[in-house]
Amino acid sequence: MKIVTLYNPIIDHGGISVSYINIANTLSKKYPNSVFHLLVNQKEIPKIDGNKNIKIINIKNFSRIPFEKILNWGKYLSSVKSILGILIYLIKYNPDYFVSFQGHFIVVICKIITNKKTIIISRENTVIGENFKFFNQSLYKYRIGIKKFTYKNSEKVVTLTDEATKYSAKLLNLPKNKFIGIGNISIEDDDVLGKYTKINKTNPNIICVSRISREKGIDLIIKSFALLPENLNARLIIVGNGSYLKEAKELAKKLEVFEKCIFEGWIGDSKKISQLISTSDIFLSASLFEGFGNSIIEAIKCRTLVISSDVPFGPREILEKGKNGILIKNDHNLTSEMAKKIKFALNNPDISKKYTDRAYKSLSRYNAEIIGEKWGEILNLNN
């Protein structure tokens, strides 16, 4: 019986964790003759199915350090614990496959140290080049070098889009067959799936669901909203939390649209988020780069029109280059163009419905059966 390890040290409300849980549930159900170890930093994982072939393993059980409270490990403590925990885990269980959702470099180092035959699969969740440039440009070359070493020592690298596979291979100068694109799973929800509500021309709602941080372009969304004519009587609903929240509110006040902006904060209930999207007329995304875009998928499920910046790589692939939603070139005209497209969509509900109908039908690409089959091929579970 094969052992497949799915490693994700941080379980939170973000897209990586949502994807991790969906993949774990799908694979355990589809391949009952394999065992799936969920290696995490906690005892329980919310929303994990109680399938018998799933075993949640708390890495902290393997990473107790002698004299931890006496020695001053400082900022290195977490990394030391992760390395120790993965080393002991690999030695004890010797899994056939080890899929890393985060911490790829540490996983590869541990594999080399233990000299195990475990096959390492790295899951890339972002647009690495753009991400490295945005966060600490001075370390760009150093981080690219580490990433290249890590992926060179991984059997496969799973990206979120086909375009990202070509991009990553070229950026890191690695063979194209090292990479494969597999999107996130779209879970069907009978409460919201397939419902369509005509655009409310009297008091239209525009919504954004995102982490509130600079790379998500929340400032661009607020600036676009501020350019809309007063007579549209539109409201902007912003769902999410993050480091840019205070600045986002200040920007809304400066542009005199704060009274029309509803900052919902983080909402833990996914059904409530779906209801908010379903009752909104337009969903906005203005990320500077986007590995996939789970919230865009959610908007499509709710049959809400998506207007997004055309950035690498998720929005472009999900919206099929503008076939399933409106894409806007990511340049200095983005805010004015986004405002124009919002106004156009609100005034032309029939055209908006054509977009949402096509987008809804396209979701079959991301159903659990298809995505599970692709993962099964990589993990050699179909034989």
pLDDT number for residue 167: 96
Rounded to 5, what percent of the chain is helix, strand, coil? 50, 15, 35
Rg of the chain over CA atoms, in angstroms? 22
Overall average pLDDT of the 333-358 stretch: 95
Lowest mean pLDDT among 59-63, 99-103, 320-324, 353-357: 59-63
Report the percentage of the chain scoring pLDDT > 70: 92
Residue 74 has pLDDT above 80, yes or no: no
pLDDT number for residue 199: 67
Domain regions of the chain by residue span: 3-185+367-378, 205-365
CATH code of the domain made up of 3-185+367-378: 3.40.50.2000
> How are beta strands 282-285 and 205-209 bridged, if at all?
parallel
Give the integer Cα–Cα distance in Å for 230 and 382: 58
pLDDT number for residue 198: 58
Task: Specify the pTM.
Answer: 0.91
Overall average pLDDT of the 188-214 stretch: 76
DSSP per residue over 255-303, as a string? TT-GGGEEEEE----HHHHHHHHHT-SEEEE--S-BS--HHHHHHHHTT
Residue-wise pLDDT for 155-176, tens only, equals 999 999 999 999 999 999 999 9
pLDDT number for residue 324: 97
Question: 281: pLDDT confidence band, cut at 50, 70 and 90?
Answer: very high
Residue 87 has pLDDT above 90, yes or no: yes
Q: Which of 260 and 187 is assigned the larger pLDDT?
A: 260
Tokens for 156, please give them: 């496969």
Q: Which fold has domain 205-365?
A: Rossmann fold (3.40.50)
Tokens for 97, please give them: 């496959």
Overall average pLDDT of the 250-259 stretch: 98
pLDDT number for residue 192: 54
pLDDT number for residue 7: 97
Tokens for 64, please give them: 């107790």
Give the integer Cα–Cα distance in Å for 340 and 228: 8
Overall average pLDDT of the 47-51 stretch: 87
Overall average pLDDT of the 110-122 stretch: 96
Tell me if 3-185+367-378 shares its fold with 205-365.
yes
